[in-house]
Amino acid sequence: MRVGIGLGSNLGTRTTELSAARTWLRSLDPGARFSGVYETEAVDCPVGSPAFLNQVAEISWNGSMTRLLDLLQDYERHRGRKTVRGWNHPRALDLDLLYADGQAARTVRLQVPHPRMGWRRFVMEPLAEICPGRKIPGLPGTVRETAGWLRKGEICRRIG
């Protein structure tokens, strides 16, 4: 199945963090696809939080979503993410499961599709680069259409 993953970094050397994450994701799927990199304001974060670099990936995955979530969270910790932290506090690396083809999951640890992805320009605009016609359960239109509706929202500019 095709799985979407959001990548974000707003601490340390942000470009290095995203590059390392791309390399790691390619170890899971050598055919992984990536959007460009976007710089975005820190949304719903503490006042004074630095801007994020964001991008999205789409990989092929044949295991369980819980297993993939475990791998993503292990990798975040390997890159220095604290297990206990405040809500949306700055972080060197954030990896979010966005979607898994047409599947849905709702557990205490895992919600797929990501419940807030359709409201976030920093997710939808890069996602529109790699799968503009994808329909994701819970979104009113295609990825491209949803990204278009969000263009009046937060600052989000492609930098690479």
Report helix, strand or coil for 47.
coil
Domain boundaries, the chain: 2-158
Q: Are 4 and 58 in contact (CB under 8 A)?
A: yes
Per-residue pLDDT, 87: 55
Strand partners, 55: 7
* Per-block mean pLDDT, blocks of 10 residues, the chain (160 long): 96 94 98 96 82 96 94 92 61 91 84 90 95 92 92 79
CATH tag for 2-158 (out of 1.20.120.160, 3.30.70.560, 1.10.8.50, 3.40.50.720): 3.30.70.560
Give helix 65-78 / helix 14-28 axis angle, nearest 10°: 140
- How far is 90 from 46, CA to CA, in rounded Å? 8
Q: Pick from 1, 3, 8: which is nearest to 120 by CA?
A: 8
Per-residue pLDDT, 91: 76
Per-residue pLDDT, 107: 85
